[in-house]
Amino acid sequence: MTAREDILGRIRAARVQAKPHPGPGPVPQRGQVGGEERKALFTRMALLAAATIDRAGSRAEVPGLVKSYLGQHNLPAEVRLAPDPRITELDWASQPLLSTGVGGTDGSHPVSVTGAFAGIAETGTLALTSGAPSPTLLNFLPETHIAILDARDLAGTYEEVWAKLKAQYGDAMPRTLNLVTGPSRSADIEQTILMGAHGPRRLHIILVDES
């Protein structure tokens, strides 16, 4: 028996003898809320992390809110849309002064608009999966990232997101799951906060509640 075969044999034996998974660990009390309280918690935690938030009563309001946000912050009226039907099928033509393109990015696009797999109220975090409809670089290369989050995809805790991920993807898991809390920042240099250090300088979330 070679060393490799010996190692693989020990791994197989250990897997056979492994005890059943003990189940989820402790769940923080803060995230165990629902309804409006969950939305309020997510909003409060996201704002504390330096993100900004708009609320929309329907997805039809999203293009107008995007254009309004860009205007308020004197940002280019140009957005790169994720190739996600939930994003591309919105009525962007209703904003004739807003230039749109669809696809990934090479870093030359100032603003991206993407969907979100889930939000986590516990910490105001976005869960962003990778895949054809959701190119990961759109979450990190543009200076401004606008994420569209459906209120029905808002979880209270991280444990709920893991369960949702397993239920939706099964064995064909996405290559990556990025957990993003607020815009990118660093205080590595002289403990001075620098926004946009490793990703977007601004993170704007549009929470869509069509209930």
Q: Which residues contact 80 (CB under 8 A, 6 or more apart)?
A: 100, 101, 102, 103, 105, 109, 111, 112, 113, 138, 142
Among 74-83, 110-119, 125-134, 167-176, whose mean pLDDT is lowest? Answer: 167-176
The predicted model scores a pTM of: 0.85
Q: What is the mean pLDDT of the chain?
A: 90
Indicate whether 32 pLDDT > 90: no
- Model confidence at 26, in pLDDT bands (50, 70, 90)? confident
The pLDDT assigned to 18 comes to: 58
Domains of the chain: 31-208 (3.40.50.10420)
